[in-house]
Amino acid sequence: MAEQVATYTSTEQLTAVASRLLEDKKSVLVGTGLPVIAALLAQRTHAPGLLIIFEAGGIGPRVPVLPISVGDSRTFYQAAAASSMHDVMSACQAGYVDFGFLGAAMIDVYGNINTTVIGEWEHPTARLPGSGGANDIGSLCPRTIILMRQDKRKFVERVNYITTPGYLDGPGARERAGLPPHTGPYRVITQLGVYGFDEETKRLTLLALHPGVTLADMRANSACEILIPSEVGTTDPPTEHERRLLHEIDPAGMVLGK
Protein backbone atom coordinates (compact mmCIF):
# COMPACT_ATOMS: atom_id res chain seq x y z
CA MET A 1 0.00 0.00 0.00
CA ALA A 2 1.34 3.43 -0.95
CA GLU A 3 2.07 5.76 1.94
CA GLN A 4 -0.55 8.49 2.29
CA VAL A 5 0.85 11.97 1.67
CA ALA A 6 -0.26 14.67 4.08
CA THR A 7 -2.40 17.35 2.44
CA TYR A 8 -1.69 19.96 5.12
CA THR A 9 1.35 21.97 6.10
CA SER A 10 3.20 21.86 9.41
CA THR A 11 2.02 25.41 10.13
CA GLU A 12 -1.61 24.43 9.58
CA GLN A 13 -1.05 21.45 11.88
CA LEU A 14 0.40 23.38 14.81
CA THR A 15 -2.19 26.16 14.46
CA ALA A 16 -5.11 23.72 14.47
CA VAL A 17 -3.71 21.84 17.46
CA ALA A 18 -3.21 25.10 19.34
CA SER A 19 -6.74 26.29 18.63
CA ARG A 20 -8.21 23.13 20.16
CA LEU A 21 -6.64 23.97 23.52
CA LEU A 22 -8.81 27.06 23.86
CA GLU A 23 -12.12 26.62 25.64
CA ASP A 24 -15.54 28.06 24.96
CA LYS A 25 -16.66 30.90 27.24
CA LYS A 26 -13.09 31.57 28.36
CA SER A 27 -10.89 34.57 27.61
CA VAL A 28 -7.59 34.70 25.74
CA LEU A 29 -5.07 37.50 25.26
CA VAL A 30 -3.32 37.00 21.94
CA GLY A 31 -0.07 38.14 20.41
CA THR A 32 0.61 38.88 16.73
CA GLY A 33 0.70 36.16 14.07
CA LEU A 34 -0.06 32.49 14.71
CA PRO A 35 -1.71 33.11 18.12
CA VAL A 36 -4.29 35.36 16.43
CA ILE A 37 -5.03 32.77 13.74
CA ALA A 38 -5.38 29.97 16.30
CA ALA A 39 -7.73 32.02 18.48
CA LEU A 40 -9.89 33.04 15.51
CA LEU A 41 -10.06 29.41 14.37
CA ALA A 42 -11.22 28.35 17.83
CA GLN A 43 -13.88 31.09 17.82
CA ARG A 44 -15.17 29.87 14.44
CA THR A 45 -15.29 26.19 15.41
CA HIS A 46 -15.62 24.71 18.90
CA ALA A 47 -15.43 27.90 21.01
CA PRO A 48 -17.89 30.48 19.60
CA GLY A 49 -18.09 32.14 23.02
CA LEU A 50 -14.32 32.63 23.29
CA LEU A 51 -13.51 36.19 24.35
CA ILE A 52 -10.50 37.34 22.32
CA ILE A 53 -8.54 40.26 23.76
CA PHE A 54 -5.88 42.27 21.95
CA GLU A 55 -3.11 44.11 23.73
CA ALA A 56 -4.00 47.50 22.25
CA GLY A 57 -7.53 47.36 23.67
CA GLY A 58 -9.78 45.42 21.32
CA ILE A 59 -11.99 43.26 23.58
CA GLY A 60 -14.34 40.63 22.17
CA PRO A 61 -14.05 41.45 18.43
CA ARG A 62 -15.22 39.31 15.53
CA VAL A 63 -12.13 39.83 13.42
CA PRO A 64 -12.90 39.35 9.69
CA VAL A 65 -9.34 38.57 8.51
CA LEU A 66 -5.89 38.44 10.04
CA PRO A 67 -4.77 41.83 11.43
CA ILE A 68 -1.16 42.78 10.82
CA SER A 69 -0.65 43.87 14.43
CA VAL A 70 -2.39 43.92 17.80
CA GLY A 71 -3.24 47.58 17.15
CA ASP A 72 -4.74 47.07 13.69
CA SER A 73 -8.24 48.57 13.32
CA ARG A 74 -9.58 45.09 12.55
CA THR A 75 -8.92 44.09 16.17
CA PHE A 76 -11.84 46.38 17.10
CA TYR A 77 -14.28 45.02 14.50
CA GLN A 78 -17.67 44.36 16.15
CA ALA A 79 -15.85 44.37 19.50
CA ALA A 80 -17.54 44.54 22.88
CA ALA A 81 -15.13 47.34 23.76
CA ALA A 82 -12.57 49.56 22.05
CA SER A 83 -10.58 49.97 25.23
CA SER A 84 -6.92 50.56 26.05
CA MET A 85 -3.70 48.74 26.80
CA HIS A 86 -4.06 49.89 30.41
CA ASP A 87 -7.47 48.21 30.75
CA VAL A 88 -6.24 45.01 29.10
CA MET A 89 -3.19 44.65 31.33
CA SER A 90 -5.27 45.56 34.38
CA ALA A 91 -7.66 42.73 33.49
CA CYS A 92 -4.68 40.36 33.39
CA GLN A 93 -3.46 41.56 36.76
CA ALA A 94 -6.94 41.16 38.24
CA GLY A 95 -7.11 37.55 37.05
CA TYR A 96 -9.81 37.99 34.42
CA VAL A 97 -7.83 36.52 31.51
CA ASP A 98 -7.75 32.71 31.31
CA PHE A 99 -5.24 32.09 28.52
CA GLY A 100 -2.20 33.93 27.20
CA PHE A 101 -1.18 33.14 23.63
CA LEU A 102 2.39 34.04 22.63
CA GLY A 103 5.02 33.47 20.00
CA ALA A 104 8.71 33.09 20.84
CA ALA A 105 12.14 33.29 19.22
CA MET A 106 13.80 31.10 21.85
CA ILE A 107 12.61 29.02 24.81
CA ASP A 108 14.38 27.02 27.49
CA VAL A 109 13.56 23.97 29.58
CA TYR A 110 11.67 26.03 32.18
CA GLY A 111 9.54 27.83 29.63
CA ASN A 112 11.40 31.13 29.81
CA ILE A 113 11.00 33.06 26.55
CA ASN A 114 13.52 35.25 24.79
CA THR A 115 12.34 37.78 22.22
CA THR A 116 14.97 40.42 23.01
CA VAL A 117 18.50 39.45 22.00
CA ILE A 118 20.36 36.49 20.50
CA GLY A 119 23.85 36.06 21.89
CA GLU A 120 25.55 38.25 24.46
CA TRP A 121 23.79 41.47 25.40
CA GLU A 122 26.86 43.64 24.75
CA HIS A 123 27.71 42.01 21.40
CA PRO A 124 24.58 40.28 20.13
CA THR A 125 24.17 38.21 17.02
CA ALA A 126 20.74 39.79 16.60
CA ARG A 127 18.46 42.18 18.45
CA LEU A 128 14.78 41.29 18.43
CA PRO A 129 11.60 43.38 18.95
CA GLY A 130 11.50 42.81 22.72
CA SER A 131 8.59 42.20 25.03
CA GLY A 132 5.64 44.32 24.05
CA GLY A 133 2.95 42.89 26.31
CA ALA A 134 4.47 39.39 26.38
CA ASN A 135 6.04 39.82 29.82
CA ASP A 136 2.71 40.90 31.30
CA ILE A 137 0.90 38.00 29.66
CA GLY A 138 3.45 35.39 30.72
CA SER A 139 3.65 36.85 34.23
CA LEU A 140 -0.06 37.14 34.95
CA CYS A 141 -2.11 34.66 32.89
CA PRO A 142 -3.00 31.30 34.51
CA ARG A 143 -2.24 29.33 31.35
CA THR A 144 0.21 30.61 28.75
CA ILE A 145 0.44 28.80 25.41
CA ILE A 146 3.52 29.36 23.26
CA LEU A 147 3.52 28.80 19.49
CA MET A 148 6.87 28.65 17.73
CA ARG A 149 9.05 26.85 15.22
CA GLN A 150 11.41 24.34 16.76
CA ASP A 151 15.10 23.87 16.04
CA LYS A 152 18.36 23.68 17.98
CA ARG A 153 18.77 27.45 18.04
CA LYS A 154 15.33 27.96 19.55
CA PHE A 155 14.95 25.04 21.99
CA VAL A 156 17.84 25.55 24.42
CA GLU A 157 18.85 24.67 27.97
CA ARG A 158 18.84 28.33 29.07
CA VAL A 159 17.81 31.38 27.06
CA ASN A 160 20.29 34.22 26.49
CA TYR A 161 17.82 36.69 27.95
CA ILE A 162 14.54 36.24 29.82
CA THR A 163 12.01 38.51 28.14
CA THR A 164 9.01 36.63 29.51
CA PRO A 165 9.25 34.45 32.63
CA GLY A 166 8.41 30.80 32.53
CA TYR A 167 9.23 28.81 35.65
CA LEU A 168 12.53 30.76 35.87
CA ASP A 169 14.97 28.27 37.44
CA GLY A 170 12.53 25.66 38.69
CA PRO A 171 9.87 24.86 41.28
CA GLY A 172 8.81 27.79 43.46
CA ALA A 173 10.84 30.36 41.51
CA ARG A 174 7.85 32.25 40.15
CA GLU A 175 6.38 32.63 43.61
CA ARG A 176 9.72 33.79 45.04
CA ALA A 177 9.89 36.41 42.30
CA GLY A 178 6.50 37.75 43.39
CA LEU A 179 4.47 36.43 40.46
CA PRO A 180 0.87 35.32 41.13
CA PRO A 181 0.39 31.69 42.18
CA HIS A 182 -1.16 29.24 39.73
CA THR A 183 0.18 31.06 36.68
CA GLY A 184 2.84 30.14 34.14
CA PRO A 185 3.51 28.37 30.86
CA TYR A 186 0.98 25.67 30.06
CA ARG A 187 1.76 24.31 26.60
CA VAL A 188 4.38 24.79 23.89
CA ILE A 189 3.32 23.83 20.36
CA THR A 190 5.74 23.53 17.47
CA GLN A 191 5.77 22.01 13.99
CA LEU A 192 6.91 18.77 15.64
CA GLY A 193 4.68 18.30 18.67
CA VAL A 194 3.07 19.46 21.88
CA TYR A 195 4.94 20.01 25.15
CA GLY A 196 3.89 20.65 28.73
CA PHE A 197 5.78 21.07 31.98
CA ASP A 198 6.46 18.42 34.60
CA GLU A 199 4.47 19.12 37.76
CA GLU A 200 7.41 18.47 40.11
CA THR A 201 10.45 19.74 38.23
CA LYS A 202 8.72 22.33 35.97
CA ARG A 203 10.88 21.12 33.09
CA LEU A 204 9.73 20.91 29.49
CA THR A 205 8.00 17.58 28.82
CA LEU A 206 6.92 16.01 25.55
CA LEU A 207 3.19 15.23 25.47
CA ALA A 208 2.45 14.39 21.84
CA LEU A 209 4.06 14.30 18.41
CA HIS A 210 2.38 15.32 15.19
CA PRO A 211 1.65 12.56 12.65
CA GLY A 212 4.80 11.33 10.92
CA VAL A 213 7.16 12.96 13.43
CA THR A 214 9.51 10.70 15.39
CA LEU A 215 11.35 11.05 18.68
CA ALA A 216 14.55 11.22 16.63
CA ASP A 217 13.14 14.25 14.77
CA MET A 218 12.29 15.92 18.05
CA ARG A 219 15.75 15.30 19.51
CA ALA A 220 17.47 16.46 16.32
CA ASN A 221 15.72 19.81 16.69
CA SER A 222 16.42 20.36 20.39
CA ALA A 223 19.58 21.65 22.07
CA CYS A 224 18.28 20.73 25.52
CA GLU A 225 17.11 17.67 27.40
CA ILE A 226 13.34 17.29 27.15
CA LEU A 227 11.55 14.89 29.49
CA ILE A 228 9.89 12.02 27.62
CA PRO A 229 7.17 10.03 29.44
CA SER A 230 6.56 6.34 28.88
CA GLU A 231 3.56 7.12 26.69
CA VAL A 232 3.64 9.85 24.06
CA GLY A 233 0.46 10.73 22.19
CA THR A 234 -0.13 11.66 18.56
CA THR A 235 -2.05 14.78 17.61
CA ASP A 236 -4.93 14.79 15.15
CA PRO A 237 -4.26 16.50 11.81
CA PRO A 238 -6.29 19.54 10.78
CA THR A 239 -9.61 18.77 9.16
CA GLU A 240 -10.52 20.13 5.74
CA HIS A 241 -13.00 22.44 7.46
CA GLU A 242 -10.26 23.78 9.73
CA ARG A 243 -7.91 24.27 6.78
CA ARG A 244 -10.53 26.17 4.82
CA LEU A 245 -11.22 28.45 7.79
CA LEU A 246 -7.50 29.03 8.35
CA HIS A 247 -7.09 30.37 4.83
CA GLU A 248 -10.23 32.47 5.13
CA ILE A 249 -8.64 34.04 8.21
CA ASP A 250 -5.28 34.56 6.45
CA PRO A 251 -6.24 34.92 2.76
CA ALA A 252 -2.99 36.66 1.83
CA GLY A 253 -0.90 33.91 3.42
CA MET A 254 0.97 36.41 5.61
CA VAL A 255 1.56 33.77 8.28
CA LEU A 256 0.30 30.49 6.83
CA GLY A 257 2.03 30.95 3.49
CA LYS A 258 0.52 30.24 0.09
Q: How far apart, in Å, are the Cα atoms of 116 and each of 46, 96, 113, 138, 165?
A: 35, 27, 9, 15, 13
pLDDT band at residue 3, thresholds of 50, 70 and 90?
very low
Q: How far apart, in Å, are the Cα atoms of 79 and each of 25, 52, 131, 193?
A: 16, 9, 25, 33
Say whether 55 is catalytic: yes
DSSP state of 50: -
Q: pLDDT of 108-137, one tens digit each? A: 999 999 999 988 888 888 888 888 889 999
Alpha carbon distance 38, 101 (integer Å): 9
Q: Which residue has the higher pLDDT, 132 or 17?
A: 17
Q: pLDDT of 47-66, one tens digit each? A: 999 999 999 999 999 999 99
**Does residue 4 register a pLDDT over 80?**
no
Among the options 55, 240, 242, 248, which is catalytic?
A: 55
CATH number for 10-249 (one of 3.90.79.10, 3.40.50.1100, 3.40.1080.10, 2.60.120.260): it is 3.40.1080.10
Alpha carbon distance 7, 94 (integer Å): 43
**Does residue 5 register a pLDDT over 80?**
no
Q: What is the pLDDT of residue 6?
A: 65
End-to-end CA distance of the chain: 30
Per domain, the residue ranges of the chain are 10-249
